[in-house]
Amino acid sequence: MSGKPLFVLVSSGEHEKLHIAAMLASVAAVSDRPVEVFVSMNAIFAFAKDIEPRQRYKGGAFSKLLLERRAPDTLQLLQQGRELGQLKIHACSMALDLLGWTVDNLVTDLFDGDLGLTRFLSDAEAGDLVTF
């Protein structure tokens, strides 16, 4: 039986916040909770196609530790959540519009498409919403 849906709004470009959001989303998804992730604002840059991890992630002391040690990669965690659980990821349509980007500018096979905030907020009434 599925648990209460979890909605995760990620707007920070800070690696540490992206990483804990990815941990939360992926573990919830493999624990029988449907999860929807909405990526907006500075967070969208971490999902740009064809960049190296050291360019992708901007952060402080913990970001350095995550990259130096064998911590799972942030985007890979989200990918695992998609493969092993019920996890969907949406790019904020406003953020894409402002950048002049489409979903094709983002890493492949991770996003379920773009979505407006109104729809995300409406869907989130069915569950818990957390923001990073």
User: With helix as H, strand as E and coil as C, how does 3-37 read?
Assistant: CCCEEEEECCCEHHHHHHHHHHHHHHHCCCCCEEE
Count of chain residues binding another protein (CB under 8 A): 14
Closest separation in Å from C-beta 8 to another protein: 15
- According to CB under 8 A, which residues from 31 to 70 bind another protein? 31-32, 69-70
Q: Is 86 in the site for another protein (CB under 8 A)?
A: no
β-strand pairing of 128-131 with 35-39: unpaired
Interface residue with another protein among 10, 18, 43, 77 (CB under 8 A) is: 77
Minimum CB–partner distance for residue 19 and another protein (Å): 11
Q: How far is CA 10 from CA 1, 2, 17, 69, in A?
A: 27, 23, 8, 24
Site residues, another protein (CB under 8 A): 23, 26-27, 30-32, 69-72, 77, 80, 83-84
